[in-house]
A = this chain, B = another copy of it.
Amino acid sequence: MRENRVIHLEKNVDIKDPIMIVGLPGVGHVGKLVAEHLVEELTSIKLIEIYSPHFPPQILVDENSEIRMVNNEIYVCKAEKHDLLILIGDHQSNTTNGHYELCGLYLDLAEEMGVKTIYTLGGFPTGQLTHIDEVLGAVSRAEMKSRLEEIGVQFKPNEPGGGIVGASGLMLGLCKLRGIDAACLMGMTSGYIVDPKSAQSLLKVICKLFDLDIDAGPLEERAKEMEKIVARLKEYEQQQQQQSQIMPEIGTGEEDLRYIG
């Protein structure tokens, strides 16, 4: 298997004015949690499976001990005004070149299905364990901002300062080159753990954006479990701070110091 393999499962589904939502694994798995939650809670049909030699050589085992190869998948979910094409997956590409190849492939598929706008979902790493109920945005075209600001998305100049790495960023970049409208919506998250609480914040914004009424219950439950772990991490962090000798803080907040060798 030297090439990506795209398997179309349903060929006769009628797709109405579709918008693509991308939720692949990434910082805090925030985007993945939200996108998978949408697929579970909405009426959804799996349209496409994508296998690739750029994914890790790995299989996953289900509750019946039956396996499947790691992949990315596209579902269609029926929403009010638009159909949502939701891209989820087990992994992002394992290689630099593979990222470009796969994101290009996803956009080819999106364009074939008539997609004109794409939202990629992700996490913004704050480095802080305390939850911030905010969603940060970045857009391929400045005109997209006002609609998103109306539903509560924050825009901050030059943020994230280190840019956006991986599929949720690259998809936006490739969209811009192709003239497709695209925005990245990021839940605030520590960056240390899977973060269903940040996913809840992001889900609220998505629901407003598409007039959806979705039960956040399962995410809430996972968030509660996670809070216990966060509490222990905070405790550990405090201990460490008391013990450690402090390195002089160099260049904090000073953009010019970011140094790529």
Interface, chain A (partner B; CB < 8 A): 1-2, 5, 25-27, 29, 51, 53-70, 91, 93-97, 99-101, 103-104, 137-142, 145, 155-161, 163-167, 169-170, 172-174, 176-177, 184, 193-194, 196, 222, 225-226, 229, 232-233, 235-236, 247-248, 250-251, 254, 256-261
Of all A-B residue pairs in the complex, the 9 with the closest CB atoms, nearest first, are: A69-B173, A57-B99, A53-B100, A1-B104, A65-B155, A63-B157, A59-B169, A57-B170, A1-B100
User: Whole-angstrom distance between the alpha carbons of A1 and B107 in the complex?
Assistant: 10
Chain B neighbourhood of A145, CB < 8 A: 64-65
Closest-CB distance, A252 to chain B (whole angstroms)? 10
Query: Closest CB of chain B to A171's CB: distance in Å?
Result: 9
Instruction: Tell me, rounded to whole Å, the shortest Cβ–Cβ distance linking A167 to chain B.
Output: 7
- Knowing that A25-B261, A57-B96, A193-B259 touch, tell me 19 more A-B residue pairs with CB under 8 angstroms: A1-B103, A1-B174, A29-B260, A58-B165, A58-B169, A59-B163, A60-B163, A61-B160, A62-B158, A65-B157, A66-B141, A67-B169, A67-B176, A69-B173, A95-B97, A222-B256, A225-B256, A226-B256, A229-B254
Q: Is the CB of A57 within 8 A of B100?
A: yes
Q: Is A248 a contact partner of B261 (Cβ separation < 8 A)? A: no
With A157-B64, A194-B259 already in contact, the answer to whether A170 and B54 are too (CB < 8 A) is: no
Closest B residue to A66 using CB positions: B142
A47–B5 Cα distance when bound, in Å, is 31
Q: Beyond A27-B261, A101-B53, A170-B69, is A58–B164 a contact (Cβ under 8 Å)?
A: yes
A140 neighbours in B (Cβ, 8 Å) = 66-67
**Copies in the assembly, this chain:** 4
Given the contacts A165-B56, A194-B257, A260-B91, A61 and B159 also touching, CB distance less than 8 Å: yes
Residue of A64, A65, A159 ringed by the most chain B CB atoms within 10 A: A65
Shortest distance in angstroms between A142's beta carbon and chain B's nearest beta carbon?
5
Is the beta-carbon distance between A70 and B163 smaller than 8 angstroms? yes
**A61 B163 Cβ-Cβ under 8 A:** yes
A53 and B177 alpha carbons, distance in the complex (Å):
14
Give the residues in chain B near A2, CB-CB below 8 Å: 97, 100-101, 104
Q: How far is the CA of A55 from the CA of B193 in the complex (A)?
A: 28
A58-B256 contact, Cβ under 8 Å, with A69-B170, A96-B95:
no
Q: How far is the CB of A98 from chain B (nearest CB, A)?
A: 8
